[in-house]
Amino acid sequence: MNSRSAVILAVALLFASGLVQAHSPIVHATSTNVSSVSISPTRTCCSTPNTPYTSGQFFRVNINASILSGQYVQGFDVRINYTNPSIVLQATGINYSNNIFASHQNSGPVVECIDGISQISNAAGCSGEIIGQVHFAESLLGPALPSPISGTLFTITFQVAGQGDSVFAFDRADVTNPNPDPNDPQLTHFTFIPVLEEAGIFGNQGVTAFFNYQPVDPSISVSLLNGPGNPVSFDASDSFVAGNSSMSFKLYSWSFGDGSQITNTTSPVLSHVFSRPGNYTVSLVVTDLKNQIGGLARQVIVLPALGSLDLIVEDHSGNPQRGNVLVQLFNSSSSALFANKTVNGVGEVLFHRLTPGSYYLTFSGDGVVTMSIVEKVTPGWTTMDTIYVSLLTPPPNYGGLIYAGSILTAVAIVGAVFVYQKRKASRAAKAHGRGTAIGKMKSSEKKNR
């Protein structure tokens, strides 16, 4: 992951500014037993069923979310990549007026970027982004929305620039779930909801090949896992012929980029098992009934069946603890130490390649009260959380009082010396006066004699 990012939503979502590259694994396609985000419609080609869009025309695609029961939604941060910008398509606008937060006054965009240019005056969040990206993040400042939730996150308007195709794929799809701190309900842990992602495509010329993919069993993890028993499902049923919506396909040819043989099928859906983690270029060639062909290649990321922890450590006022907290990780509540790290300069600590399960963590260091928590690690997923530590109350500082006391004591001593000297001088003067008087009396007596 590149830095933990930027938005944890004004209240706590601003993962923007390109600061979160790998918070959520990139996976695609929908399922009925996990939450998802998706492009709708999945395929776009025509203003009418058989009339492809031409240069200068506009169309819209929606970015939708379906969040299952048991979650709350405080905000989201989504970035879409589209291919062939300015050649086939050009993104021209973002609309969120009727999205899932529309009825809530205490909400609003915190990031709104098209091709790296902010659409919000004096707003950050687009630095480092490139042409061909649409990035939108919004937070809800009031109470979070309870699930189930199904609706639009935002809508993108595109203008057609030429002929060809353009894939709409998720570069990021983070949906935040706020959880109250068990030790202080006023504090909130923001975590990401695991979601599947379903890409989409535009095409206005000839045969357009397209496929989505997801784990066959996404309830294990929304990430693509390697190894036996974790097959990946590929679905090419959204391939189409622009200008001929009734045309069907007689052959689907797949190359999975892992050294296996090309697979030819008459069905648009099949599964494949990758033997090890890696980035694979999966290619599809489709043939219609007129022997016209179209092709598409997409990168498929296959992750090991391991997980990660990404934790931010703050005090109860929300101030990051910078380099002063030691985090120790145990496999369970036992005393067997598995790993330990010190938080970095932004208060973050990461543990990678963890076997799925529950982990016991302790937090200790100068100036903080030692505490412990339990975190769950999911296969192929980065579990993110904010941990709040209590600060030790510093001992009373008596230095000022001691200093003042020392000054007062010194003044008192000087004063006492001064009084003593004055009294001593007074006594000496009196004694001298008495001596002078006696001497005069004796001198007078001698004269009288």
155-175: per-residue pLDDT in tens? 999 999 999 999 999 999 999
- Which among 177, 184, 143 has a CA at the least distance from the CA of 373? 184
The token duo for 343 is: 């938080």
Question: Which stretches of the chain drop beneath a pLDDT of 70?
Answer: 1-32, 122-124, 182-183, 227-228, 333-334, 394-449
Query: Which pLDDT value is given to residue 27?
Result: 32
138-160: per-residue pLDDT in tens? 998 888 899 999 999 999 999 99
Which strands sit side by side in the sheet containing 249-255, from one edge to the other? 263-265, 249-255, 278-288, 293-302
Distances (CA, A) of 147 to 27, 92, 112: 22, 32, 25
The token duo for 66 is: 């379906």
Query: Which pLDDT value is given to residue 428?
Result: 53
Helical (H) or strand (E) element with 214 = strand 212-215
Query: Which pLDDT value is given to residue 419?
Result: 44
pTM over 0.75: yes
- Exposed, middle or buried: residue 407 (CB in 10 Å: 0-12, 13-18, 19+)? exposed
265-295: per-residue pLDDT in tens? 999 999 999 988 899 999 999 999 999 999 9
Query: Which pLDDT value is given to residue 225?
Result: 85
